[in-house]
Amino acid sequence: MGRTADGEAARAADRLRDQVVEPPLVVLEGAVTPDGSRRVRIGHLAGRGEAGRAGEEVGPEPTAARRVSWIVRADDGPAAVRVVVRSGTGGTARSGWLRVR
């Protein structure tokens, strides 16, 4: 038997419910924060298949984005930072390097 989109979505939902898949991790690279917080777990984001289907009862609107912010300090002249997001199911995304003045 082949896999179906509904079957894949159900298996992914089971993994999330059972916490087999860790929530995405956002990491600030290249800078120091005053409080030392460079890593933030942002929780799972809604995927394309979580909006509900016709006839299904749907809960609150799924969240497809999260905002994370840091205050950074460049001690000795200009510095550069980037943000890296790692997800067990979505892979890794890296921003470009941003100059801190």
Numbers of helices and strands, H then E, in the chain: 1, 5
- Segment 13-24, tens digit of pLDDT: 776 666 667 888
Written as six digits, the tokens of 7 are 């079957």
Domain ranges of the chain: 5-100
Q: Is the pTM of this model over 0.95?
A: no
Query: pLDDT 10s digit of each residue in the chain, 101 long?
Result: 455 667 777 777 776 666 667 888 999 998 878 888 889 888 877 765 555 555 555 555 556 678 888 888 767 777 889 999 998 878 899 999 998 87
Distance, in Å, from the CA atom of 73 to the CA atom of 2, rounded to the nearest integer, reads 53
pLDDT tens per residue, range 56-70? 555 555 566 788 888
* Nearest Cα to Cα of residue 83 among 97, 73, 71: 97
Give the gyration radius of the chain's Cα atoms. Answer: 18
